[in-house]
Amino acid sequence: MSDLIDRTRAWIAGDPDPATRSELAGLVQTRDREELADRMNGTLAFGTAGIRGVVEAGSNRMNLATVIRTTAGLAEHLQRTTEPHDRLVVIGRDARPSSDSFMDDTIAVLAAAGFTVRFFAAPTPTPLVAYAGLSLGACASIVITASHNPPRDNGYKVYAANGAQIVSPADTEIAACIAEVGAATDVPRAPNAFETSSVEAIDDEMFEQYLRDVATVLPGVAGDRGISIVYTPMHGVGGRFVTDALRRFGFHKVNPVARQFAPDGTFPTVDFPNPEEPGALDLAHELAQAIDADIVFANDPDTDRLAVSVPDPGGVWRPLTGNQIGCLLAEFLLDHHEGPGVVVNSVVSSPLLSRIADRHAVTYDRTLTGFKWIWNAALDLAGTGAGELVLGYEEALGYSVGTTVRDKDGISAALAFGVLAAEAAADEESVLDRLGTLFERYGVWASAQVSVRVDTPDGSERIARMMDALRSDPPTSLQDLDVSGMTDYAVGADERPRYLGATNLIELDLGDAGRVLARPSGTEPKLKIYVDLTAPYPRSGDWMGAEADLTRRAEAIGEDLRSWLTDAGG
């Protein structure tokens, strides 16, 4: 206990924020060993997604001291790897309560370290910050955001000079620099950073430029698109940006969900501000039902993801899956594309994209999970002469339309899907009609996800045992389908591109019927199972019935493997 108390007192002495100093001192006074040990258990690990955690006092939490030390380490890394004339950093933030102060001190540290800083004064979509960094030639871009995490969290996301998220070894190099930083109180901060010539706000022209660039990759011409859209930014920062963009691209019937429109980092109307979560779209669906809308769009709080719902023939609002949105976008964009091009998705996303690429004679590849890999694949493939990215996507509602932003972008995705829906309406078709046509061309596809959650002290060991058992002696069948092969992505990385390197992922081959993948979650004590199945288009033409049957079968296979893994984990 004495060592823990000593480390805590040392952190308190180096914390410049009186609020978190007092908070941590209170825990020392009450001798709350369990809470102190959790808060002082090392520091938040800096990885390719930056850092993210609960906003509280302590070295293992998001707070002013953590942000200052992280920025100082990043600044040191950039000073070691860039020339002085290239040291421009772009910064933006979301609308969480702590994001404003975290951004201010990030700017103060960078200004004191001799960097030029361009920043967004108001809460801004993450993809717009990434776009600005690439557009302005920044050596790095920083976004203070926890995306769709719960309200208590915040984060610090970093983009490289190429406009994409950082990848190894940059993350480990930055982490090493952060580890060398002493107390946060010893890190120089420019006292009047915002009054210096090296710190300047980014004006609205950046968004105008972004929209002009997006327009170059969208099919069709401007004009009244006609369709009625319900839109929710889920209490995030996308509201004014997305509604403005939609209206400028000819969507004049945009109906915001009023209770979720203003930025509010407490997310008062949803349990979790993630459009994938059950119930998150309820208010949007209620409004859509009331006004007889054609489509629902929802962004997550930092506007880098897009959810889409459409009415089924019975008038019930149906969220499309991430795979359905991605494959519909790919088919639509490629129908309007000429010449070489590239489409990419993550290895846990639908194999249907490869069939779409074959039909359109463009290059397809798959990557590890995360848009950092999707965009590094796109850049590598462009370097081989394969052409530029037409679409990159992953099943968790992330899409990159064209080359405007080198990360997932919920604004351009909404515009592209809106144009798709408007084109379908002009042809007297619905979005579901387009999905039916997709299945008629490529077979019916369905996906399912099942999780094996292990909330026990030995959870990580049990998950490791599950993966070991799957590697050494995989099941011979799942439901009534034979397992015809197994791929272990932890081995053979030397024979694959860097964006599909070694990772703790196992794929079970179900032959012509599809495949199943399993991997541990990177953020929670659970193992994720992904099932993708396909079947011929039915002679009856009832693809919705066939899809529903296939979805139930995929879910049953996922549950079958979950039971097998639970038994294997002990």
pLDDT at 176: 98
Where the chain has pLDDT below 70, the residues are 1, 221-223, 570
* CA-wise closest residue to 297 among 465, 415, 136, 144: 415
pLDDT at 154: 97
| Active-site residue set | 147
Count of all residues that appear for the chain in the document: 570
Q: How far apart are CA 234 and CA 149, in angstroms?
A: 12
Region for 226 from its dihedrals, namely left if φ exceeds 0, alpha if ψ lies in -120 to 50, beta otherwise = left
Which run of H or E residues covers position 295? strand 295-299
Q: DSSP class of residue 271?
A: S
**Sheet with 389-394: strands ordered across:** 363-367, 342-346, 389-394, 398-401
* CA-wise closest residue to 57 among 80, 8, 23, 94: 23
Q: Give the domains, in start order, of the chain with CATH numbers.
A: 2-203 (3.40.120.10), 230-441 (3.40.120.10), 443-569 (3.30.310.50)
pLDDT at 439: 99
HEC per residue, 122-177 = CCCCHHHHHHHHHHHCCCEEEEECCCCCCCCEEEEEEECCCCCECCCCHHHHHHHH
CA dihedral 391, 396, 397, 398 (to 10 degrees): -40
Find out whether 54 and 153 touch, Cβ atoms under 8 Å: yes
Q: How far apart are CA 185 and CA 18, in angstroms?
A: 12
pLDDT at 311: 98
Q: pLDDT tens digits, residue range 517-552? A: 999 987 778 999 999 999 999 999 999 999 999 999
Other C-beta atoms closer than 10 Å to the C-beta of 22 total: 12
Q: pLDDT tens digits, residue range 200-219? A: 999 999 999 999 999 999 98
Report pTM.
0.96
